[in-house]
Amino acid sequence: MLSSVEIGSIMVVSLMWGGTNPLLRIGSRSATARSQSSTSSSSSSSRGASRLLRPFLEMWALLKDWRFSIPLMINQMASVLFIVLLASLPLTVVVPVVNSLTFLVTAVVGFLLGEPTASFRLWLGTYCILIGIGICLYTS
């Protein structure tokens, strides 16, 4: 049986990942839109070089935007904690429970942020996920 600290750690990783997924999506949209508007105004003589540099410039624009970089840092901290959990807890419990809860938190946070994700099938699937998580935790 998992201790309350271990279950709490699993929930923290899921909350960190699931909470940052919609924020990363929103942050990447805003940074990409700004990046495209600035590159469309560049001169035609530098178009060849900009094709090679474009991925790096877009990545740099994403990292400079706090709406993307702060959720990315939180997301990466959750990844480190997830690796620690994998090393110390049963793999057959940690992976399905964390991934399922992450999906659930992503759906709820996306819905709260106004993303058009809510449907009957989504909530039915979420309910099934919760039942599956309960079974996983009960049997471990």
**Quick check: pTM over 0.85?**
no
Max Cα distance, the chain (Å): 65
pLDDT in tens, the chain (140 residues): 788 999 999 999 999 999 999 999 988 887 666 656 665 555 455 566 678 888 888 888 888 888 899 999 999 999 999 999 999 999 988 998 899 899 889 988 988 998 876 688 888 888 898 898 888 778 87
Which sign does the torsion angle of CA 88, 90, 95, 98 carry?
negative
Domain boundaries, the chain: 4-139
Q: What whole-number distance in Å separates Cα of residue 98 and Cα of residue 10?
A: 6
What is the distance of C-alpha 4 from the center of its chain?
24
Q: What residues contact 1, with CB distance under 8 A and at least 6 apart?
A: 140
Q: What whole-number distance in Å separates Cα of residue 73 and Cα of residue 90?
A: 26
